[in-house]
Amino acid sequence: MNIERVAASNLVASNLAYIAGDAEQTYAACEQFLQCLEWHLPRPTTLTPAISNIVENSSTQMLKANCFLALANLYGTLSQLVEASQALQAAEALYLTAGDPESMAHCLITRADLLRCRGRLIQSQNLLEGLQHSDSWMSLSDATKARAWFFLDTTRIYTFTGLGSKIWHWRAKFYHGGDAIQVNTHLEDLLLRCSGTGAALYRREILRLLAEVALCKGRLSDAADNLQAIIEMGGKSAENGLWSAVWKANVMSQQGDYELARELIREALEPSQFFVLRNARTFLCQSYGSAFIELTAGEYDRAESYFTATIEASDIQSDLVRKAFSICGLGEIAFARSNSILATQRFKETRSLCAEMGVPPQHLYNCFPFIALPDKFNGWVLFLEGQSPFAHPLGQTKDIRQRPESRIHLRNDETIHMV
């Protein structure tokens, strides 16, 4: 912290940036310091406003852009996606003005994917499509164009508007409700072709899809085995390993082994403890995973606390996806408690978020099988279908637990049995 204060005050925030002879060294020192933070001690930096306040000229635009890009990489490592996006956008504009379309496109494409990660699917798609219709597009390298197409296809899969590769094709088939046996057969065939060391990314994707298919077909053990294979491929310190461990915990909770599920969550977080400040995405992953487990276990008070914490973190990170899932989870808790008015309110909030993301409400969980709540939590489905008690105006709902055939009555029986 002391070193950073010296760097901020003596190298960046001072008038050295205006001295032609020292400008290059000033920016270089700033960029190198940000890289050191990213590599050795990732945490937010006080240099952000100092970099923004420097008045650049034609000879320093590229240098300042490089600093913003290093800053974006640091925030990306911290999974502070809003801050990373802001830094990328600043770098983007400077690279474009300085006449470097390749670097500009790199920042734009990365920013578009960060928007996708936060559920800003329409914005992500518009950004990438805008790049393809811009004056800069024709001057970009084939590799950069391919990267733009890849991330556009990645975004489109979540809005059900198109795909690219074979893996994404079968993923889309499955998410669109295609025959699970056919999808499984093709995925296993593709997995056999991914034998080289360079195919690790594809193997992870196929194993994840195989796990999703197994989960949706009720083969929980097969789903857990495929997720474990991903964990072993990437190591527990890798982000893929973290998410796969949390998803495996969700599967374990659906098998009724709640203690093991909780332990998996704790173990998954251990490699991330080297961060001085908690990784924002790690917290969202852990918090929602814990909410899922406690809800499945029938521990509604605990689940409610975790969902609320996830919503608060989602607001900070502007993450619409996990906010929608968490509000929907609160709706299921209210529904399980026979509070139809509160459940309706929560589900309406969820539906509004679906509209903001550009996702049809009935497809909210389609692309996220491991996050989707077990079938016994059916309040959201009943709400979308307009079935009882959501068919009645607010204030006129009946306590449907009095009806022996009601789903809520059966669900409460199951919860009592599990506890």
Name 267's Cβ contacts closer than 8 Å, sequence gap at least 6: 236, 245
> C-alpha angle with apex 252: 248 to 253, nearest 5 degrees?
120
Q: What does the pLDDT read at residue 42?
A: 86
Distance in angstroms (rounded) separating the CA atoms of residues 153 and 157: 6
Domains, the chain:
2-159 (1.25.40), 278-419 (1.25.40.10)
What pLDDT score does 21 carry?
55
Q: What is the pLDDT of residue 10?
A: 55
Arithmetic mean of pLDDT over the chain: 83
- Looking at residue 47, its pLDDT comes to 82
pLDDT of residue 159: 77
Q: Give the residue, 127 or 393, on which the prediction is more confident.
A: 127
Helices 258-269 & 239-254 angle (0-180, nearest 10):
170
Confidence band, pLDDT 50/70/90 cuts, at residue 404: very low
The answer for residues whose C-beta is within 8 angstroms of residue 52's C-beta and 6 or more apart is: 90
pLDDT at 163 over 90: no
In whole angstroms, what is the distance from residue 34 CA to residue 233 CA?
30
Q: What percent of the chain has pLDDT over 90?
A: 54
Mean pLDDT in residue range 58-77: 92
Q: What is the pLDDT of residue 192?
A: 85
Distance CA 85, CA 76 (A): 9
Nearest CA to 317 among 87, 112, 90, 117?
117
What's the pLDDT tens digit per position in 361-383?
999 998 889 999 998 999 999 99
pLDDT at 13 over 80: no
Are 106 and 73 within 8 A, CB to CB?
no
Count of CB atoms situated within 10 Å of the CB of 40:
7
Three-state secondary structure call for residue 299: coil
Q: What pLDDT was estimated at residue 273?
A: 57
The verdict on pTM exceeding 0.75 is no
- pLDDT level of residue 384 (50, 70, 90 thresholds): very high
Distance of CA 198 to the CA centre of its chain: 25
In degrees, rounded to 5, the angle at the alpha carbon of residue 307 between the alpha carbons of residues 356 and 279 is: 85
Higher pLDDT among residues 236 and 103, named by residue: 103
- Residue 112 pLDDT more than 90? yes
**Single-letter amino acid, residue 401:** R
Given a cut of 90, whether residue 225 has pLDDT beyond it is yes
**Buried b / exposed e across 151-187, counting CB within 10 Å, b at 16+?**
bbbbbbbbbbeebbeebbebbbbbbeeeeeeebbebb
Q: Which of 34-43, 83-92, 266-275, 347-356 has the lowest mean pLDDT?
A: 266-275
Of 65-69, 191-195, 401-405, 415-419, where does the model show the most confidence? 65-69
Confidence of residue 409 (pLDDT cuts 50, 70, 90): very low
Q: Which long-range contacts (CB under 8 A, 24 or more apart) does 305-308 make?
A: 307/333
Q: Is the separation of the CB atoms in 398 and 392 below 8 Å?
A: yes
- Confidence (pLDDT) at 211: 95
Mean pLDDT of 3-26: 57
Give per-residue pLDDT as tens, 318-357. Answer: 999 999 999 999 999 999 999 999 999 999 999 999 999 9
